[in-house]
Structure 1
């Protein structure tokens, strides 16, 4: 009768080595396509700091891609009266914006002389031309037909931006939802040209006041109002941090994309996306 054999240290080592062999299975790098991702940085200048500039903007675009994924899904859920999934997605959008706010801290380590040395290599490229960011602006209701033009030269990108421009915004869908729940919303805010900028309405404020004065009766709509507040709060911080970082690095020079730079960005700070959500607080 043979005694059971005890694995030798060599056998144990071979077993461990087999666990580390990913030649036949999908590895971490394969799943994330890291070869493509990490080879997408192509500095044009001899400047050391260009790598920071590229990675800062590439990672921001990845976060914005996720934001678009969540925001589009949240809008669809509101349209279908599925509020709980929408709340989860909108909360994630707010957290992504927080991530983008902190990303400016890294770019702010670039000093004015460092950026000045890099700037000629950027030509006319600018974050102002981000087709993903423009979709975010449109989906949040800041519609401006002139902002379509920077994307006309690229049909695929233009189609995506145009779709966001032509469809109801997140706030438009929220007002449609209020109306379906029996809250009186002015008809001209329910049937309007979705490509036009949103105009504040006392009637819409009264609709939200009805919700906020009886939160227990309209709890999910009340939650929706606060989710929208969270989104705009985070978006304002993101815009503000952008302005201060740009001013810190380039002062009041014109932007590479042809805008007035800091002056243009400061004007964006005055844009209010969900006006009645804010003004109702004065009337409670």
Structure 2
């Protein structure tokens, strides 16, 4: 039996599993079954932690529902922070979490219902993201598809993002073109994709296709990358509300493009996974 704790952050749901509760290895095959919404519990990913760290108070591994590992997830970090609060391991003081995409600082607010995360610094440089080709800031470049020409910017906040500015966006655009951009040859590690519409100087709207997860109602790292891109292009100021199908996240951008993200977290359930779930593996 494995204990799990399920939370959602604006409709982006994760299971938190403490490695001490594992009776065997958490393999990609097991992750796929657990995250399946028909044959498992169903989630947009698994947060494995807390793990020991030499550089932060806690460490965390983040897994996508296809079994791959993600470097960083803003919603995942808010959920994991709330889990630490619920377990009584943190209080209102800031604490650090190590991820494969870097160390972040979290602060619990509103008795755990809101979490602020210092996500790190956004970079637009191709070597950091990565994007193939000459070393450059990937700003307003073009991708040519049979369906048309798309102008994009690429960014990283510990994980790769492709931001596409459009006049009109909807879920169909994300579902139809997200998979194409995720696997586009320019992005050797694949990429998260945001389709962005600027509403005013302090508000953007995005539709999201997440690498390894697919169409997603909300994403903290996607919000960070899209807001930073809007600011980089001079279309928005440094404080931006990001509207998504699942809700809103507040992004604050410093002069050096360090990002602070604030958003809600909701606890859904806790329970135990049955060993019978893995019978066919």
TM-score category by the smaller chain? Answer: under 0.3
Higher strand share: 2
TM-score by length of 2: 0.26
Higher helix share: 1
TM-score by length of 1: 0.26
